[in-house]
């Protein structure tokens, strides 16, 4: 059977990673969280208290070694030999990810890595430019979104459960800022691919969103296999 590529794009906090991971497990595909790669590079800078600028990108990018590997729990990220999978799930790492993603050199560095995984396995890959840039010929494309308020509420609860001190107002501000940064960057801005199916999960429970995505994928698989 040929490898199938499923691209799930959408704004921050739409549930892409959770839902893509669920779909991959359900289908027996490999899950590729591309946002984690950008978080990893962003973490390189923030953990060293380095401002993310063209100068620091030029100076340090070649020193950054980033890898995707899999264990029994799924995808993990290794940064210069260290597993940073847990460390990159902070609000600061998310904001840093948006900043580094605006640099063409960073996107180019990660493009081959993302595509190489999709060449080896059937994948569910989520991000912000998967269907438009990384895997433009993906067999199935989904644009997953929700209102900024809904996404902020979900993210706020997630951060509180992790013990981070924040407010819903701050998280909503960060979500809106992240949307603006992602949609207005010069290289591969966040947008819905013309052939992507839009799913708006505003007001959905996680389980309802997961089932909506799986129902659509299942209906399409018979057409692409």
Q: Read off the pLDDT band of 55 (50, 70, 90).
A: very high
Nearest to 38 by CA among 24, 57, 19, 23: 57
Taking 90 as the threshold, does the pLDDT of residue 185 lie above it?
no
pLDDT tens, 125-135?
999 999 999 99
Residue 173 has pLDDT above 90, yes or no: yes
Q: How confident is the model at residue 72 (pLDDT cuts 50, 70, 90)?
A: confident
- The CATH class of the 8-218 domain is alpha beta
- Give the contacts of 144 (CB within 8 A, at least 6 positions apart): 8, 9, 10, 14, 15, 16, 19, 126, 199, 201, 209, 213
In sequence order, the 6+-apart residues with CB closer than 8 A to the CB of 105 are 57, 58, 61
DSSP result, 103-148: SHHHHHHHHHHHHHHHHHS-EEEEESSIIIIISTT-SEEEEEE--H
- Please determine, for residue 1, whether its predicted confidence score (pLDDT) is greater than 70: no
Q: What is the DSSP string of 157-225?
A: HHHHHTT----HHHHHHHHHHHHHHHHH-SSS-----TTPEEEE-TT--HHHHHHHHHHHHHHHHHHH-
Going by pLDDT thresholds of 50, 70 and 90, the confidence category of residue 48 is very high
Contacts of 211 (CB under 8 A, 6+ apart): none
* pLDDT tens-digit readout, 91-135: 888 889 989 988 999 999 999 899 998 998 999 999 999 999 999
Helix axes 168-184, 148-161, angle to 10 degrees: 120
**Confidence band of 187 (pLDDT split at 50, 70, 90):** confident
Give the model's confidence band at 56: pLDDT under 50 very low, under 70 low, under 90 confident, else very high.
very high
Give the sheet arrangement for strand 30-33, strand by strand. 30-33, 123-127, 5-9, 140-145, 197-200
Q: Does the pLDDT at position 143 exceed 90? A: yes
């Amino acid at each position: 059977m040929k490898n199938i590529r499923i691209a799930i794009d959408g704004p921050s906090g739409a549930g892409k990673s959770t839902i893509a991971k669920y779909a991959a497990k359900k289908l027996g595909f490999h899950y590729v969280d591309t946002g984690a790669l950008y978080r990893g590079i962003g973490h390189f800078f923030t953990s060293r208290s380095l401002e993310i600028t063209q100068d620091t990108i030029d100076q340090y990018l070649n020193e950054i070694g980033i890898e995707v590997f899999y264990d029994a729990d799924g995808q993990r990220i290794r940064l210069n030999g260290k597993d940073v999978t847990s460390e990159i799930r902070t609000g600061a790492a998310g904001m840093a990810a948006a900043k580094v993603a605006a640099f063409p050199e960073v996107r180019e560095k990660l493009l081959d890595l993302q595509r190489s995984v999709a060449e080896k396995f059937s994948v569910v890959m989520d991000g912000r430019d998967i269907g438009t840039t990384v895997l433009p010929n993906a067999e199935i494309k989904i644009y997953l979104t929700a209102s900024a308020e809904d996404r902020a509420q979900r993210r706020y609860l997630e951060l509180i459960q992790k013990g981070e001190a924040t407010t819903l107002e701050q998280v909503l501000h960060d979500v809106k800022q992240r949307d603006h940064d992602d949609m207005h960057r010069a290289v591969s801005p966040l947008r819905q691919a013309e052939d992507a199916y839009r799913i708006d999960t505003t007001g959905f429970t996680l389980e309802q969103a997961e089932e909506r995505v799986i129902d659509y994928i299942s209906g399409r698989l018979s057409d692409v296999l």
